[in-house]
Amino acid sequence: MSPKHLKSLLFTICGASIAMAAAGDNVSVYSGGLSLGGTAMLNDSSNRAERGYGMIGFNNKYTVTDNIDIFGDLEWYGFTSGSFGAFAGMNGNFGTGKVRPFVGAGGGISWYDHGGDDFDKGFGLAAKVQGGVQFDVTDNMGISFAVPFRYTFNEARDNSIGFQVGMNFFSAQRKIKKIM
């Protein structure tokens, strides 16, 4: 995926989310939080020292309708390797209650440390698909469980699957009624 195609994808996602927000009755303002988990490499890279990594992430989400979230995630893999990913995308939620399963997809960049190789081998545009469930514990806090799959368009063609558990904090005015 070229930078031009990624840019077009992100503009399409933003435009679709604005259109959906204009059509809905309620808009959730914002949620953000921290996630922890692990990820396992699926491709065979003979010079990689580690096949699995711990993961920490910062998750940001805007809910544009009851069933659509726009997300932005920053993730670090392998606490000593410095591998990272940054993704933006869209989740579709199934239901509007306190327990909401979701599936989503997005794009971004990622870099995997290949132990001394040059930066270009591990760096590339990346795609992410995920599924999971969000539990609203209170009106201002939720817990999420997700299983993401990531594919990086780099020289090594790094791809991984993982799990993550997150704690999200919702804005003080979680639901606001649209005026228009």
| Listed residue (70, 73, 77, 69) closest to 59, CA to CA | 73
| Tens digits of pLDDT across the chain (180 residues) | 555 555 555 555 555 555 444 444 555 557 889 999 988 888 876 445 566 778 999 998 888 887 888 999 999 987 666 788 999 999 999 988 889 999 999 999 998 877 766 666 788 999 999 999 999 898 889 999 999 999 999 888 888 899 999 999 887 555 544 444
The CA–CA distances, whole Å, from 86 to 60, 68, 124, 140, 159 equal: 11, 20, 11, 25, 15
Q: What is the CATH number that goes with domain 3-177?
A: 2.40.160.20
Please name the helix (run of DSSP H) or strand (run of DSSP E) that holds residue 156, with its range, or none. Answer: none
| Listed residue (154, 162, 151) closest to 77, CA to CA | 162
pTM of full prediction above 0.85: no
* C-alpha to C-alpha distance for 14 and 123, rounded to whole angstroms: 25
| Residue 34 C-alpha from the chain's centroid | 12
Tell me, what's the pLDDT at 45?
61
Map out the domains of the chain as residue ranges: 3-177
